[in-house]
Amino acid sequence: MSRKQIAASLMVLMCTLPATAGSKQKGTTTLKDFQPAGTTDKKHKHQQFDFTFDASGTEYTCRSPEGTKLKATEFPVNSNISYEIDGDKGKVKNTSGKEVKCTMMRIQNLSDTSTPAAPR
């Protein structure tokens, strides 16, 4: 193989790699749960929250960052939300347009949650 052929092969590989490396997942779903995480103190004045929602057969729990001011009334459980997932980063947006960036804390494939048989 010549240097030009190797360079051309590498260029094709580099151009296709970002498209297959990790794609963003977007959509709308229902907010299953919205819980406080941790505690507040003088250094951590704003409560962190965990958002739990299902998307594409997977349950996600995403935590808001420190310093983000949120109100529980902005994200009622069972309300519709828009989400965006990119690796371990996420965004959740309510129907009023309030958007919160978050970090994925737990990801569970819903097909893994089978109900055990009842004892006889």
Residue 118 forms part of a structural domain: no
Pick the range with the lowest mean pLDDT from 4-8, 53-57, 108-112.
4-8
Place of tokens 């519709």: 80
Full-model pTM: 0.71
Higher pLDDT, 119 or 44: 44
Residue 30 forms part of a structural domain: yes
Which amino acid, residue 83? Answer: Y
Which amino acid, residue 85? Answer: I
Q: Which residues have C-beta within 8 Å of that of residue 15, sequence separation ≥ 6?
A: none
Q: What values do phi and psi take at 14, rounded to 5?
A: -65, -35
With cut-offs at 50, 70 and 90, classify the pLDDT of residue 17.
very low
Count up the domains in the chain and report the number. Answer: 1
Which residue range is the domain that position 46 belongs to? 22-112
Residue 26 forms part of a structural domain: yes
- Distance separating alpha carbons of residues 119 and 47, to the nearest angstrom: 42
> What separation in angstroms does the CA of 109 have from each of 55, 56, 88, 113?
10, 9, 15, 8
Please write the tens of the pLDDT for every residue from 28-81. Answer: 999 999 999 877 777 777 889 999 999 989 999 999 998 888 888 999 999 999
Residue 52 forms part of a structural domain: yes
